[in-house]
Amino acid sequence: MSGKGERKLVIGYDALTDAAIMAGCRFFAGYPITPATEIAEEMARKLPKVGGIFIQMEDEMASLMAAIGASLSGLKAMTATSGPGFSLMQEAIGFAAITETPVVIVDAQRVGPSTGMVTMPAQGDVIQARFGSHGDYSIIAIAPSSVQDIFEHTVMAFNYSELYRTPVILLLDEILVHLREPAVIPDKMEVVERMKPSVPPEEFIPYGGEIQREMPSVGDGYNLLIESVLHDEIGRRIGTDSIKGSRMIKRLWNKIEGNVEKIAKEEFFMMDDADIAIVAYGSPFRSAIKAAKIARSMGIRVGVVKLITLWPFHDSMIRRVSEQVKAFVVPEMNMGKMAREVKRAAGEKRVISVPKLGGSLHTPEDILSAVKEVA
């Protein structure tokens, strides 16, 4: 946080929408879906008060495409959905990635697959957030664990989308959307604004360099080429030129994966002397902290690594932690999707996945049982 604020009781969707407004969001397009509908309702209420625009679209793909169009026209833009709608958005996510369009996508996860359990929380979309659209690209995904996180990480999502000209996915779950708890809502936060071109149109390279921060709006006179086909640094189609195609794909990949150390965020709790690490994110982090405290009261040295960014995955951080601990415990409201990433980075260290399914959250005892297994 960068500004003092008032500590008050706040519900998740209210914190998210207030943060989006603070970050400069002035356009929201969405389609009602449980448990994300309240986010759209709040944006419909708040955006007109700051001169923003709210549109209810005919479906989720149209919602994201409208947000992309608004962003290309110069507005910071957001949409929100849940699992089924997130599936429909995948083609548009790929379009935002290849056109390097800043946009924030909120996924309030619920139990799947398909319609699933519409009012129950899950974390089943975490791999889809990274690999959901076809082709090779990389993306940023952030997972709050509290109402305080929701506010701060929403601003972070908008900042990252501008810094790296990329879609950013904010992964919540039903619990967090509707969770009401004390949080300090700051008066202001550091906000990254969009950079306009510093050169005349004839000299501007819209897709040049590792990251082109400068971005004209449609209508600014820069004749911006916006193309879903692989294109060169000007935006022209490259046809069957495999060398230029390879260069473009690597650029989209490297602007995220090549900046992992700048992008990746995590927090450490009780890790100074820990020989077991619980790696958690989202709502299960809350139970993980309690489990670690109980374990320590029993003489088991347990710490918690709270993942803030899920993608790009911070392999080097897990490798560093693996040099200290003998085992990892990874509680998730899925069948162990991020546990696979931890296993990949942890080398020969033991990794225990603790899945929780059917819309319920881990109890501390669920996690403690796995801790005892490796103690």
Q: How many Å separate Cα 126 from the centre of its chain? A: 9
For residue 223, is pLDDT > 90? no
> What does the alpha-carbon distance between residue 47 and residue 49 come to, in Å, rounded to a whole number?
5
Share of the chain above pLDDT 90, in %: 97
**Torsion of Cα atoms, 70 then 170 then 214 then 26, to 10°:** 40
pLDDT score for 231: 95
Residue 176 Cα distances to 32, 69, 147, 332, 339, angstroms = 18, 29, 7, 15, 21
SS3 content of the chain, % helix, strand, coil (to 5): 40, 25, 40
Please check the confidence at residue 3 and state whether its pLDDT lies above 80.
Answer: no
DSSP state of 37: H
Smallest CA-to-CA distance from 348 within 305, 310, 318 is with 318
Given a cut of 80, is residue 82 above it in pLDDT?
yes
Q: What would the pLDDT profile of 304-355 be if each residue is shown by its tens digit?
A: 999 999 999 999 999 999 999 999 999 999 999 999 999 999 999 999 999 9
168 touches 30 (CB < 8 A): no
Q: Residue 267: enclosing H or E segment and its boundaries?
A: strand 266-269
Residues 107-124, mean pLDDT to the nearest whole number: 98
Instruction: Pick the closest to residue 320 from 342, 296, 299, 291 (CA basis).
Output: 342
Provide the pLDDT confidence category of residue 4 given band limits of 50, 70 and 90. confident
pLDDT of residue 6: 87
What pLDDT shows up at residue 130?
Answer: 97
pLDDT number for residue 55: 98
Residue 2 has pLDDT above 70, yes or no: no
User: What's the pLDDT tens digit per position in 226-253?
Assistant: 999 999 999 999 999 999 999 999 999 9
Distance from C-alpha of 36 to C-alpha of 154, rounded to nearest angstrom: 15
Q: Please report the pLDDT score of residue 1 as a whole number.
A: 54
Residue 176 has pLDDT above 70, yes or no: yes
pLDDT of residue 180: 98
Beta bridge partners of 188: none
| DSSP letter string, 58-91 | SSHHHHHHHHHHHHHTT-EEEEEE-HHHHHHTHH
- Among residues 230, 200, 192, 236, which one has the least CA distance to residue 216? 200
Cis preceding-peptide flag for 364 (omega within 30 of 0): no
Q: Which residues pair with 142 in a beta bridge?
A: 170, 309
Mean pLDDT of all residues in 77-101:
98
Average pLDDT over residues 75-88: 99
Give the SS3 label for residue 302: strand
Per-residue pLDDT, averaged over 122-142, amounts to 97
Residue 13: predicted pLDDT: 99
Question: pTM for the complete prediction?
Answer: 0.97
Q: Mean pLDDT over all residues of the chain? A: 97
Domains along the chain with CATH numbers: 1-263 (3.40.50.970), 265-374 (3.40.50.920)
Question: What is the C-alpha to C-alpha distance for residues 261 and 309, in angstroms, rounded to an integer?
Answer: 11
Counting residues of the chain whose pLDDT is more than 70, the rounded percentage is 99
Could you report the per-residue pLDDT of 248-304, keeping only the tens digit for each? 999 999 999 999 999 999 999 999 999 999 999 999 999 999 999 999 999 999 999
266-269 and 302-307 beta bridge pairing: antiparallel
Q: Which helix (H) or strand (E) holds 117?
A: strand 117-121
* Residue 208: strand pairing partners: none
Mean pLDDT of 24-44: 99
Q: Which amino acid is at 313?
A: F
Please give the average per-residue pLDDT across 79-83, as a whole number: 99
Mean pLDDT for 49-78 is 98
pLDDT recorded at residue 209: 86
Give the pair of three-digit tokens for residue 371. Answer: 């801790």
Measure Cα distances from 32 to 44, 56, 57, 99 in Å.
12, 8, 9, 27
